[in-house]
Amino acid sequence: MTTAEVATKLVELCRQGKIDEVQETLYAQDAQSIEANEMMGPKVVTGLEAIKAKSIAFQAGVEEFHSATISDPIVAGNSFAITWAMDATFKGRGRMTIEEVCTYQVKDGKITLEQFFY
């Protein structure tokens, strides 16, 4: 898949709430994930299994999702970016709106790096 195809598929699946499928089909086994801080989980994790574990832990910390908006991707070379706004109630933290810019790098049709800014 090209970077644009990976970006389009990621947005499509995320809008459907299919995060597990995104990780299984679009991520490289040695992908790396970098958070802006440790509010959403470990700041840096490496490897698909660690990314999946981080995702499971994040979802376990959510009491209720109220809404989410994901932009269309902006693609340049082997990278793309989206914006993601989420309104959710978190266990022990209450209701929050989080707006982030999510960036991704693609190599050989797979996401090798994701980084979040919020």
- At 109, is the pLDDT very low, low, confident or very high (cuts 50, 70, 90)? very high
- pTM of the model as a whole: 0.94
Asked if the model's pLDDT at residue 114 lies above 90, the reply is: yes
Q: What is the pLDDT of residue 87?
A: 98
For 64-107, the pLDDT digits (tens) are 999 999 999 999 999 999 999 999 999 999 999 999 999 999 99
Query: Strand ranges (DSSP E) for the chain?
Result: 27-34, 44-46, 62-70, 74-76, 79-90, 94-107, 110-117
Q: How far apart are CA 10 and CA 8, in angstroms?
A: 6
68 phi and psi, to 5 degrees?
Answer: -150, 145
- Structure tokens belonging to residue 72: 């269309």
Q: What is the pLDDT of residue 105?
A: 98
Q: Comparing C-alpha atoms, which of 43, 8, 53 is closest to residue 115?
A: 43
Q: What is the pLDDT of residue 44?
A: 96
Q: How far apart are CA 24 and CA 13, in angstroms?
A: 11
Q: How far apart are CA 85 and CA 58, in angstroms?
A: 15
Q: What is the pLDDT of residue 69?
A: 97
For 26-61, the pLDDT digits (tens) are 999 999 999 998 877 789 999 999 999 999 999 999
Q: Which residue has the tokens 């995320």?
A: 14
What the chain holds in terms of domains, given with CATH numbers, is: 3-117 (3.10.450.50)
